Chains A and B, each alone.
Chain A
Amino acid sequence: MVFPTDENVIVGLDRADDAGVYKISDDLALIQTVDFFTPIVDDPYWFGQIAAANALSDVYAMGGTPKTAMNLVAFPVKQMDLSVLRQIIQGGLDKLTEAEVVLIGGHSIEDKELKYGLSVTGIVHPSRVLTKKNLWPGDRLILTKPLGTGIVNTAIKAGMASVDLTDKVTHLMASLNRDAARIMSRFDVHACTDVTGFGLIGHIAEMVCGSNMSVRIFSEQVPVISEALEFASMGLIPAGAYKNREFRESMVGFSKTVERSLQDVLVDPQTSGGLLITVDRVQADALVKALQDAGISDTAEIGDVLKDPEEKIWVV
């Protein structure tokens, strides 16, 4: 398929990045993104919050500031009470308010299956756009949220997760990547994306492809929801994790010392995951500290970039 473009498109479909970026003037570009999905938690209010945090995240990952949003709703009017929809939209709205983003419209249709999401528009200076494709040798990789939400959500479906854990993971998915994005803008960040459906390995793979670099992940340093390891060893793993692993198998090397359940967490599809940031090595410690000091306490340096035309991901 051929997608027409013009000279103001900074990031378009050919790049497959987190969002599209279009230059309006020499000092202003628009960031546009849309995301919606079926419920991932039982509570409609929290589902609304998570969907909004997830949609906003793409703008943060591009280095931008979200400004406006529109709702996308598919709702089974005949089977479900409208109060459910009201709670979902309230959840989304509260999250937008927290992010200082205004809801300016939306569209809803009747559907057999409930779906909710948002289209978000943000702004960025054209020279400050952060994409996935800018790895430099020696860069450090930093991750701001722990992994394992897909596995824990599977355990929740299986009725095997505690109330406390369910709560913890719900809050984690609903938490904004805004503060992390603000803090990283003060540092010499080279590339950024957010960790979602492809899992950590899948999103690193997108950074690595075409970069002439390889990435080394220090598996013991990767922040992980500890219960996810236990659930993984019991086979409570979403099918998406197996697909993610298979898809990137040829470019990933796991060292023998990396336990199978940790490998599963590294390919586990995440909902509203953290930012994955690459930063100049000299600033890595300071960035991690700044993020932790701001209360993003799970933040960790998880790997580094090696000059290597093989374009592999080594998990050690």
Chain B
Amino acid sequence: MKEIDARGLACPAPVLQTKAFLQEENLGSVKVIVDNAASQQNVQRFLESQGFQTALEQNGTDYLVIGTCDAEQQTQIQLPQEREAEDKKIMVMCATDRIGFGDEELGLKLMISFIKTLKEMGPELWRLVFVNNGVKLTIDGSEALGDLKDFENDGLKILVCGTCLTHFGLLEAKKVGETTNMLDIVTAMQLADKVINI
């Protein structure tokens, strides 16, 4: 493994030295040694922005960052971007996994179709929040999971109520979205131009 010794250098020099090194040769793995925690974190973040996976070690006064990456991955990795702020921000909050009352099967079918059709809102769809029974749409085996993952890959922020997941014992089963709390949800409501409740 190639070693870069950037001890005795202040920010941003260790990052620059690492960058120069990567530009010269296509490395699959690299070890960078610095002498302070701030430089260590900066180098870690630089390597991660270049598609490396990183591990940190500390050895006395030496701080190490070990980066590894498959050569093919090293070309710029596309990270999902937060959607541009459009004129309008719409927040959709689902407190149920069924639409309407009566026939359960029909209710579920409508819900799956609703999630799928939300795409038509385009970039105005800004937050998708799941609370109470709604969190069941985000777990393993949910028919809406595919569409929700597409939304997330597209950069939409999906918030899933942590209290609800815990209540149903589904914390581990959640497969999409960020676990969130009531303060986040209330804040999102405050910032949104329109809140739609299902």
Please report A residues at the B interface, Cβ cutoff 8 Å: 154-155, 157-159, 216, 218, 220-221, 232-239, 241-243, 255-257, 259, 314, 316
Q: B71 in the interface, Cβ–Cβ < 8 Å?
A: no
- CA–CA, A159 and B13, complex, Å: 11
Which residues of A are found within 8 Å of B43, using beta-carbon distances? 235
Q: Is B45 a contact partner of A234 (Cβ separation < 8 A)?
A: yes
Q: Is A235 a contact partner of B178 (Cβ separation < 8 A)?
A: no
Q: Is A234 a contact partner of B187 (Cβ separation < 8 A)?
A: no
- CA–CA, A241 and B39, complex, Å: 11
Which single residue of chain A is at the shortest CB-CB distance from B12? A158
Q: B21 in the interface, Cβ–Cβ < 8 Å?
A: no
Within 8 Å by CB of B180, from A154, A159, A218, A257, lies A257
- CA–CA, A203 and B16, complex, Å: 31
Q: Is B15 a contact partner of A158 (Cβ separation < 8 A)?
A: yes
Q: B106 in the interface, Cβ–Cβ < 8 Å?
A: no
A-B CB contact pairs (8 Å), 29 listed: A157-B12, A159-B16, A216-B187, A218-B187, A218-B190, A218-B191, A220-B85, A232-B45, A233-B45, A234-B15, A234-B46, A235-B15, A235-B45, A236-B15, A237-B11, A237-B41, A237-B42, A239-B10, A239-B36, A239-B38, A243-B38, A255-B180, A255-B183, A256-B184, A257-B159, A257-B184, A314-B183, A316-B183, A316-B184
Q: B132 in the interface, Cβ–Cβ < 8 Å?
A: no
Which residues of A are found within 8 Å of B190, using beta-carbon distances? 218
Residue of B16, B42, B178, B180 contacting most chain A CB atoms (<10 Å): B42
Which residues of A are found within 8 Å of B46, using beta-carbon distances? 234-236
Q: Is A235 a contact partner of B44 (Cβ separation < 8 A)?
A: yes
Which single residue of chain A is at the shortest CB-CB distance from B190? A218
- CA–CA, A241 and B41, complex, Å: 11
Cβ of B2 to closest chain A Cβ, rounded Å: 18
Q: B37 in the interface, Cβ–Cβ < 8 Å?
A: yes
Residue of B43, B85, B157, B183 contacting most chain A CB atoms (<10 Å): B183
Which single residue of chain A is at the shortest CB-CB distance from B180? A256
Which residues of A are found within 8 Å of B11, using beta-carbon distances? 154, 236-239
Given contacts A236-B42, A257-B159, A316-B187, contact A242 B37 (CB under 8 A): yes
- CA–CA, A233 and B157, complex, Å: 19
Q: Is B41 a contact partner of A235 (Cβ separation < 8 A)?
A: yes
Interface residues of B in 134-167 (CB under 8 A from A): 157, 159
Which residues of A are found within 8 Å of B178, using beta-carbon distances? 256-257
Which residues of A are found within 8 Å of B181, using beta-carbon distances? 255
Q: B58 in the interface, Cβ–Cβ < 8 Å?
A: no
Which single residue of chain A is at the shortest CB-CB distance from B45? A235
A235-B12, A257-B180 given. 14 additional CB < 8 A pairs? A158-B15, A158-B16, A159-B16, A218-B191, A234-B15, A235-B15, A235-B41, A235-B43, A236-B12, A236-B46, A237-B38, A237-B42, A239-B10, A239-B11
Q: B49 in the interface, Cβ–Cβ < 8 Å?
A: yes
- CA–CA, A124 and B74, complex, Å: 59
Cβ of B196 to closest chain A Cβ, rounded Å: 19
Q: B193 in the interface, Cβ–Cβ < 8 Å?
A: no
Q: B179 in the interface, Cβ–Cβ < 8 Å?
A: yes
Cβ of B5 to closest chain A Cβ, rounded Å: 17
- CA–CA, A193 and B85, complex, Å: 30
Which single residue of chain A is at the shortest CB-CB distance from B79? A233
- CA–CA, A53 and B122, complex, Å: 45
Q: B82 in the interface, Cβ–Cβ < 8 Å?
A: yes
Cβ of B78 to closest chain A Cβ, rounded Å: 14
Which residues of B are found within 8 Å of A158, using beta-carbon distances? 12, 15-16
Q: Is B157 a contact partner of A257 (Cβ separation < 8 A)?
A: yes
Cβ of B164 to closest chain A Cβ, rounded Å: 16
Which residues of A are found within 8 Å of B41, using beta-carbon distances? 235, 237, 242
Q: Is B157 a contact partner of A256 (Cβ separation < 8 A)?
A: no
Which single residue of chain A is at the shortest CB-CB distance from B187? A316
Residue of B11, B43, B187 contacting most chain A CB atoms (<10 Å): B11
Residue of A218, A241, A257, A314 contacting most chain B CB atoms (<10 Å): A257
Residue of A221, A241, A243, A316 contacting most chain B CB atoms (<10 Å): A316
Which single residue of chain B is at the shortest CB-CB distance from A316? B187
- CA–CA, A220 and B126, complex, Å: 13
Which residues of B are found within 8 Å of A241, using beta-carbon distances? 38
